[in-house]
Structure 1
């Protein structure tokens, strides 16, 4: 496979560990291992630390530990551990799914702009990729009528991302159902990159269901990076029908083989204590959203924004007459 350079990742790698202030990061402020253990009842912390220190660092269970897969499965409706594959981040999950589901010449509809992988990997496989554009002139709205115009009887996969990176746009439950029904009408699947699941804002908005819960054609991809503040664990997962999970596992044998045992154990602690983590995230989001709103209001001659309805990101419009890359540099 010949694939184009992952431009954003190369740019981030150049700067992200060498700056005093990072306002380009796409995840919540990271937790430390101590922060994770502090989530446990005080009487349990010493035992939990001993258990972590006693983990033998051999190979782990290839699909992820049964404990972690069972705990992840429980966050979906009617999903079992054999319908979960633990991966090296959501990025491996998406890569495995694309290479398992798609063949050259297949038609894919993918939201755009988006995390580059969601567009570049299907294109590198040899697929025809139609871009479902999220446009500023539409208020960064996920336009379902526009999606319907792109879907054809040849469509094999619809790729969505909600809350959307980079605009913060979201689909409600009815919108997600319409996407699923569109896919079902042509025999396609829906891959939903749910990297920003559990990052709803503290405004009373009800969380939307994951795509996996809508039916057998729905695939959800999750991660511990964004909603848990644990990108260093490099743990993600696929939630999908068991036969597709098994096929992705077979492909994964040629890539990373299995997740790290220590990472798997730490991820399980985080998942079991996700409610205090979510409460922390909502506080951070509320504070940062207020600070951003005040700054944009004070600098309205230079930059404009549309506050995201969920997630951590928004897309800016700026007035200086220069391309975005020189401005970012």
Structure 2
């Protein structure tokens, strides 16, 4: 006789020696029975008590179990700032204010004071930085800065997306902020401040700098000496009051040889446009400099006239302009 454990019931049984080669197999029915029991126990343990309610898009949803709510958080369908409630709580609270996050295997998000805000402060001044880049690049390639408006937009987006990634690495759920990071920077900054429970200072700074650069773009020229090349086009395509039928560019091109245009900001913070070239004056080749001054209302006026570096009076100016206009 030999003892053997029955695979179906688990009891010890004795078999004759001649049956020692007999194989015991589980029946298909028993396998299915055990599997269904295991699955049922697993599902029941995972679901737990459905006692949690949560608010999403203005609706009260639930009840769900703690594990289900944590799964929603991991799948970025609810966030640390999502309001939750269960029986025994006096009022709704953020997920971050409950012990729900303790069910996660990951550590809680870093505290706001432990996150370096250098990047977001650079972002706060991006309207100024972007405009500076526009002016520098436009000056280098000779294009109007207005045509390079996308530089500031791209800079804002790059900084926002990188800041969002930084917050995600710090443990914050930022999926809902991606849209704002790309399309509406101030909204992103305000939501960021709310997420980290910080003051809205950097968001307000961004709004202020944006307004400044929108309504006073000449401020950049004043502090940097960099002139928007479109200032030259303003004079080229403009006309003088006494000579309305020809643009300044047409008059210069028809009369000057080797004409050159240059814009600069002087010490008085005003923008000036210099036009230089060669003309024949009193039978001699003469180097001419005409200088125009831009006004704050986008108008301009002739400010100075020189022949061979010698300032000329109004009479000479009138004679020259009449000749240029009649050419």
Q: Shorter-chain TM-score category? A: under 0.3
* TM-score between the two structures when normalised by the length of structure 1: 0.19
Write 1 or 2 for the structure with the bigger share of helix: 2
Q: Which has the higher contact order (CA 8 A, sep 6+)?
A: 1
* TM-score between the two structures when normalised by the length of structure 2: 0.19
